[in-house]
Amino acid sequence: MIAAVLLRLAFWVSCVSAFFPFVPAWVKEREEHATIAAAGRRSISSVAQDGFAFAIERRASENNDSTVVRAMRQAQWLSSKFHHRRAKTAGEASTTKRNGNTYPVVEAKPPTASMATGISQDGTDYSYFVKARVGSKGKELYLLLDTGAGSSWVMGSTCSDQPCTMHNTFGPGDSNTYNDNQKPFSISYGTGKVEGNLVTDTISVAGISVKYSFGLASKASDDFTRFAFDGILGMSMSLGSGDNFLKRLADDKKLDKNLFGVALNRASDGTSGEIRIGATNPDKYTGPIGYTPLGTKDGDWSIPIDDMTYDGKKAGCGGVLAYLDTGTSFIFGPADLVKKLHAVIPGSASVDKFSYRVPCDSNKVLTFTFSGVEYKLSPKDWIAPKDDSGQCTSNIYAREVVAGAWLLGDAFLKNVYTIFDKDQQRIGLAVTAGAQSSSSASASPSAGTGTGTGTSSSGPPGQSASGSTMISTSLPTSSAVVSQSTSSSGGIKPPLGLNGHETGGGPSPTGSAAKPSKTSDSSATPLKARTQVIIALFALASTVIAMLS
């Protein structure tokens, strides 16, 4: 009998450890969204002499989920993406596919720079993707542009799951150079998952063709019916399930400078989004570029953040790393830091410890400071539209996707021009062109002392001007895999994509990094909660045994 009791307790403990999903009461809340008319696909731009450019497009989601519901789903996906930094998550994007993909696409206008191509979207500022041609026959697919993922994958023609029937797929019949590596790949995104084999073939973006190893999904969970993209293009430097795209470009010497500049646009501001590979586009930003060295050597695009302020009031939520992820729609952070930020926003309140209600008439900007330079985040981006009850929610959510760090997605990136510089191991930020006219963003030196070593320059990368202050070496690592049993903050490291970083099967990153500093109340984390439950259960078991004896 004692054995039976212990067996039941052990089984229950294992269930507690495995259960993680958080489903607040508002998850079933819905709101209507306008349907975006389908737009015709446009051909990929040609290669320029001094660099390459390709179109990034945004696809419309087929569901009518509210902003908070989307954020919750994305947070779950990101938890997988960053939990084991080798498997990534996706966000909501859609493609216009000729075989089955019927998601509408709002096309971007032609790029102004010879090396650039437009970024299109679905009209809701939710996800951004790029056109790519795969295989010798140039099969066109839409791939989510994901700076939080190190590997790439596409939906395979042998996949019979519902998501694959709704998207464009790729298979051996689409190419004469297709090669199945006979190696499995699997990537989890919270509640979503794709799996299949690694294959090698040619992928062409912006006219750049490389022989590349990527995942070909033979199975895809139903979550992908919500997304318009046919796969993911990993733009992180970290190693994933297959080849690393940026490393392949560098090894093949495709670019003079191994960097790319990204300008994401709001749907309300037009269709001027653009990515430029191998160079920046001065027409897309104003003023100097502020550079901050990467906070780790693990390949993640993460930099230390000094602080955040609202209406001149400092929140005291800096001193940690911030991941810049084009594959994430919103902003996520440790619960205690998110609480500090909203504490300086009058009228804000949380009822579920995940999201925060804020006054709909808030018209002040949030300020993010990197290397002593302030970048402003417009209320258009940090406040979601009114829901069915007439209330507004902050787009900054309390979910520690990356242990002890902030995850800054498109809500932030729409306000800046971002340069991801692989050669110099740094990220550059500048005010987007036209931002000042709409009061959406601006940059200025902080009155306080910055915490990161930064440089600013009005010229191209590599021509930096004066430096700023020293970087703190006690900042948490962004890309090191944080074990749930040892993480001081109890957070989950992101994996692959739209909601965080990659968590798939791939080699462990190399390089050392500082241990994450304790930036959140670990008593509120699932890890500690499970530990307390386990201790209580074994105490109960001991009591039962004593009584039975």
Catalytic residues: 146, 325
Buried-exposed string 528-546: b where 16+ CB fall within 10 A, e elsewhere: eebbeebeebeeebeeeee
**250, containing H or E segment:** helix 245-251
Tokens standing for residue 441? 């963003």
How many Cα atoms sit within 13 Å of 349 on the Cβ side?
4
Question: Which of 390, 263, 402, 238 has the alpha carbon at shortest distance from 321?
Answer: 402
* DSSP conformation letters of 188-244: EETTEEEEEEEEEEEEEETTEEEEEEEEEEEEE-GGGGG-B-SEEEE-SSS--SS--
Residue type, position 369, single letter: T
Cα-based distances in Å from 339 to 348, 357, 396: 10, 12, 10
Cβ atoms 17, 42 nearer than 8 A: no
Cβ atoms 30, 65 nearer than 8 A: yes
Tokens standing for residue 411? 């809500």
CA angle, 394 then 400 then 403, to 5°: 145
CA distance 219 to 258: 34
Neighbours of 510 (CB within 10 A): 9
Q: What is the dihedral of CA 40, 44, 45, 50, to 10 degrees?
A: 150
**78, containing H or E segment:** helix 67-83
Q: What is the DSSP letter of 312?
A: T
CA distance 156 to 236: 23
How many Cα atoms sit within 13 Å of 402 on the Cβ side?
40
CA distance 422 to 424: 6
* DSSP conformation letters of 451-477: SS--EEESSSTT----B--PPPTTSPP
Tokens standing for residue 2? 């004692």
